[in-house]
A = this chain, B = another copy of it.
Amino acid sequence: MDNTIIRRAREGRIDDEMRKIAEAEGVSPEKLRDRIAKGQVVYIRNVKWPSEKVVAIGKGLSTKINVNLGTSTEVVDLDSELKKVEVANKWGDTLMDLSVGGDLDAIRRAVISKSKLPVGTVPVYQAFIEAFNKRSGGAYFTIDDLFNTIERQLKDGVAFMTIHAAVTKEAAIRVLKSDRVIPVVSRGGDMIIGWMLHNDAENPYLTHWDYLLELFAQYDAVISIGDALRPGAVADAHDEFHVGELVEAARLAKRAIKAGVQVMIEGPGHVPLNDVIWTIKLEKRLTGGVPYYVLGPLPTDVAAPYDHIASAVGAALAAAAGADLLCYITPAEHLSLPTVEQVEQGAIAYRIAAHIGDVVKLGRKARRWDDEVSYYRGRLMWDEMIKRLVDPERAYKVYTQYGPPKVKGCTMCGGYCPMNMVIQQARRLK
């Protein structure tokens, strides 16, 4: 039996990486180990090329963010994708290569080489695309093709994979016949649905779950159970399809943990803001605390090309309520493949959303950062303040956008800076 992280944690072992993470996160190594053993924390790293940044995700830890990138069939530009990897290295905690255009193996390997972060994929893309190219139909891949693709990617060092195991054939048929505003918006999920319909067969991930667990145990990689039926419109949130798939995912996650395989569950999409807190609690309740990896949530359908902002609203609230890994959304969402700049805008918005959540989730531990910034802000110590902001470089540019301020305050209030007046008033009172 492969000695996976969960199994080692269950034996009570604490390795050096665990200690390092525990220290960085400000929790005790014992607590971290126990949570890994229970499946409440996952611990992702690049198996083949150990990444510089080992990432732990889950209970009691800071909220992490994932940066998606990758080619499309219409735009294949490896240079640009590798620049996105650099952006992810700067701002993100994990990244996913979602390429569907060009030489998928070569792109994935280049991304993994360049990435300092653990890299995730959605392996059904490659199985589907290769079947499309070789057999003239995306759904014509065999179960062997699918699992061979997964193993090929694991060998390359993919650290986690979205596995759309929780959508059953029956649910797929019902959702396609339903009056949902948009029946399915998950690209990988719909490839699995296409396969089930074409083959008139149950979801191969579901029928071969135990085999999949063995494979992931062998490479000690993390399964991220995908949400093929996630809502793609706020009107569709928390219908029977959305919640039914979560129930199935929770069952599968428990089997994974029992088998010693680390697992996360993927969630949200479009969800109205009043449902965000409890949808996180629901996942935690159903699963006993399996890390929740949520896209957005996006609390409105109308905001493109500002879905990075609209979804940061949902993401911050989700993080505050206990979401563990936030999948970012860029300003190009719903409209286009994102540019490098749009990837960065999305990543920064999510870095901020994660911290807003952490101020709630972790309390003083996270708020220390805010307190420091405000300490220097109130004293008009601009350099000290700006260098502590989330993006000092851009902050400095804005601070000096009308030329370096000639006053103690900034160009907003100029001579009537309240902070400056207050400093003098307080001095006089002493």
Q: Residues on A close to B: CB < 8 A?
A: 72-75, 100-101, 125, 128-129, 138, 173, 176-177, 181-187, 189-191, 193-194, 197, 232-235, 270, 272-274, 299-306, 308-310, 312-313, 316-317, 320, 331-332, 334-337, 339, 342, 348-349, 352-353, 355-357, 359-360, 367, 369-371, 373-375, 377-378, 386, 388-391, 394-395, 397-402, 405-407, 410-419, 421-422, 425-426, 428-430
Contact = CB atoms under 8 A, between A and B. Distances in A.
Contacts of A336: 398-402, 405, 410-412
A316 B303 contact: no
A26 to B, nearest CB: 18
Contacts of A367: 234-235, 272
Nearest to A188: B418
Nearest to A403: B74
Contacts of A182: 374, 377-378, 419, 422
Contacts of A414: 72-75, 100-101
B377 A425 contact: no
A391 B305 contact: yes
A407 B305 contact: no
B303 A389 contact: yes
Contacts of A190: 418, 421-422, 425
Contacts of A352: 300, 302-303, 306, 309-310
A352 B308 CA distance: 11
Q: Give the interface SS of chain A, mostly helix, strand, loop or mixed.
A: helix
Nearest to A236: B374
Nearest to A396: B335
A235 B374 contact: yes
A395 B184 CA distance: 23
B74 A128 contact: no
A422 B176 contact: yes
The 6 closest A-B pairs by CB, nearest first: A73-B414, A233-B374, A182-B378, A301-B370, A190-B418, A74-B414
Given A190-B422, A273-B357, A426-B176, A334 B377 contact: yes
A425 to B, nearest CB: 6
A402 to B, nearest CB: 5
A299 B316 contact: yes
B389 A272 contact: no
Contact of A418 (B186, B313, B416): B186
A174 to B, nearest CB: 10
